[in-house]
Amino acid sequence: MSHFSTKTISFSMIGLLITSAAQTADAFELSGSKWFGAETVIYVDMEGQSGTGILWNTAFIAAMDDWTNATPFTFAVNEAHRDPCTNDGLNGVDFAEDFCGTEFGNNTLAVTVRRFRNTLLGAPDIVQADIVVNAAEAFDVFDGNLVQFGPTFGKIDFRRTALHELGHVLGLEHENIKAAIMAPKISNLDRLQADDIAAVVALYSGLDNCAIKDLNFGLTNAALDTGDCTVQDLTAGGEDTSFIDIYRFELSNTTELEFSMTSLTLESVLLLASADLNYLDVDSVINDDCSSTLDATLPPGSYLLLANTYDEPIKEACQTSGAYQLNVAFLSDSPQALGNNSSLQGGLSSAQFSGGITANNGVSFGNRFTPDDSLDITATITVDPNHVGQAGFLVVAAVVDGQILLLNEQGAFIEVGTNPDPIIRAVNKTLEASETLDIVSDLVPAELGINSITVDFVIGYGLASDPAEIYFHQVPLNLIVAP
């Protein structure tokens, strides 16, 4: 787990050399530094044209397009001048007799300067990258081998030089591999190679390296241990090998959330991020115990909760692997969406599910209540259009301590063990486009002798023509009753 800073902390220079050299077959290496959002704008306004009649601007923009068309990264162009030697937060490119007041090194064709800002996890983000091209070199624009006869004899191809430098802009390092534009020495290669493209895909697809689970509001028991995803996997680089679990959740309206990650032995760290890994908050307070807490009020949208630890122990009592319990409470002014749909038999549907628990007649909805609250629990199913008008049924399940209870037509929950057969139905009816279920009304847990309980509700529906198939949601409707 990395520490957070909002300041630009460093810069690096990296360039392309004119001479060729023997090369090995090593694969690409990634530092992990990248642009947030996999996109940036470069200001391109270079005067003049090559001996073959191609504008320098045209050749450079074509190189930008090559990266954009072949990889997950997007280069946008603004045809205006920006001094590449100015730290202004903008990306510029231009020819110059020297590198921002310093002589170019021997045989140096161009230099890319990248500026970085620390982020919560992984290597620092790139926030500015400028390219300075050595005006003393003899450039032209041509395809094929470097050594040619005729007008381009003794010239260096500007377009492949631009391709190389743009690779540094988007976060690639030099690659010690023969078939790569990102090799440190210019060569006869004049287009992006498979290794160049694979490096960008790896750098900007870190989320694909880790399993992402749906976040259940309420309690989740899990562990961080060998075999789990690491921060290094997630960020595609860097040196942070701490374990991490990733949970996704959707909010349909502004919601207050309380997250806690508790463990007797695991040094717990919670992070909150947008769906594309823009880090929003982190619990960076090192407490006396091994737990972590994080509160947030979030607008509608898609989010990630990351359960992390440190790559080295911080406190003697807390380790960097072990079991933890995740507890999520929320409060909102409307019912919640209940995640992606699923089915018992693997059938596909477009059904959508939502539900809510309220103790104040719908003024607010949440999942944590006291024993004396009077609870109303409702759920709504948007039925797949292909199923509307067919004979069917509705099902309501309550899961308590691993045991399943099903709601019958008389409004009572019946314990059915862990593998109910047949499935008890709450309602038999012709399915309408929208089905609303009043699961309980005016329920006061204390009046039933309940002082503390956790229940996960799942609703679903089926067709009379295929009673073994039930369509339901993946995120349960959670209820926590506690004093």
pLDDT value of position 178: 64
Q: Judge: domain 336-481, CATH 2.10.25.
A: no
269: pLDDT confidence band, cut at 50, 70 and 90?
very high
What is the number of other CB atoms lying within 10 angstroms of the CB of residue 193?
A: 17
Contact 375, 355 (CB under 8 A): no
For 122-179, the pLDDT digits (tens) are 889 999 999 999 999 989 999 988 876 667 677 889 999 999 999 999 999 988 766 8
Q: Inform me whether the pLDDT recorded for 25 exceeds 70.
A: no
Please list, in sequence order, all residues whose beta carbon lies within 8 angstroms of the beta carbon of residue 379, skipping any fewer than 6 positions away. 335, 338, 353, 354, 355, 356, 396, 436, 437, 439, 457, 459, 477
pLDDT value of position 284: 66
Run of H or E residues at 196: helix 194-203
Contact 437, 365 (CB under 8 A): no
Contact 237, 33 (CB under 8 A): yes
Average pLDDT value for residue range 370-381: 97
Read off the pTM: 0.82
User: Tokens for 467?
Assistant: 């009673």
Domain ranges, ordered by start, for the chain: 8-204, 207-332, 336-481
For 29-41, the pLDDT digits (tens) are 788 899 999 999 9
CATH superfamily for 8-204 is Collagenase (Catalytic Domain) (3.40.390.10)
Q: Inform me whether the pLDDT recorded for 249 exceeds 70.
A: yes
Contact 315, 267 (CB under 8 A): yes
- Topology (CATH) of 207-332: Jelly Rolls (2.60.120)
Contact 41, 321 (CB under 8 A): no
Contact 297, 257 (CB under 8 A): yes
Q: Which backbone phi and psi does 145 adopt, to 5 degrees?
A: -65, 155
> In the chain, what is the straight-line distance between the N-terminal and C-terminal CA atoms, in Å?
35
| Region of residue 120 (phi > 0: left; psi between -120 and 50: alpha; otherwise: beta) | alpha
User: Tokens for 33?
Assistant: 């530094």
